[in-house]
Amino acid sequence: MSKKLQGNGRWESSRMMLPEHRAQLIERQRIQSGEAPAVRAQVPTRQELELIRDYTLLPMMLTIVEKNRIQMELSTVSMKQLYVIALDALMRRIHMDLVLVKKSLREHGIKVYDDETVDSAVHYRYVCRGYEDRLAMTRDVVRSEISVRLARYVGGLFKKDDGGV
């Protein structure tokens, strides 16, 4: 890092810095200050970041499906029983996936915490084997991701199996 960038406060706090580079910079600063080397924190893999993202999105999806189910139960639609049963099945699948994601996070030594919700984004803090960082998603990204995932779940729900209907 050039002398111009070092110590100006902008480089170290930049959000444009990749997590791997931030971890290297922190480690380098510890060594320069004479501090004992920390236990090597492991940056999460792409798969682990996807698990963290699933962990944040699946509960939101469950809430959406549950609200739709309640609305459907209160409606006067003639086929409401069919819709309620389908929404129940959808909730079961999402819940099963959430249980698997939680189990995987535990096995990988990852903890996720609600951080804050700002008008334009939701933030989560996570700790992965000593490495700590934040995940932020704008509301538009959350909406579109949930829409795509719900479409996939619904498609899988009514997918024709080999021995099925």
Cα–Cα separations (whole angstroms), residue 150 to 8, 50, 58, 117: 46, 17, 10, 23
Contact 124, 112 (CB under 8 A): yes
pLDDT (0 to 100) of residue 149 = 96
What is the C-alpha separation between 54 and 105, in angstroms, rounded? 10
What phi, psi does 106 have (nearest 5°)? -60, -45
Amino acid symbol at 35: E
pLDDT at 25: 74
- So what's the pLDDT on residue 164? 44
**Buried residues in 81-117 as b, exposed as e (16+ CB within 10 A):** eebbebbeebbeebeebbeebeebbeebebebeeeee
Residues ≥6 apart with Cβ < 8 Å to 36? 30
Task: Tokens 């003639």: give the residue.
Answer: 78
Cα–Cα distances in angstroms (integers) from residue 71 to residues 6, 45, 117, in the given order:
57, 40, 26
pLDDT at position 165 is: 40
> For the chain, which ranges sit under pLDDT 50?
14, 163-165
Q: What is the pLDDT of residues 132-150, one digit of tens each?
A: 999 999 999 999 999 999 9
pLDDT at 114: 86
What's the confidence (pLDDT) of residue 16? 59
Phi, psi of 91 (to 5 degrees): -65, -40
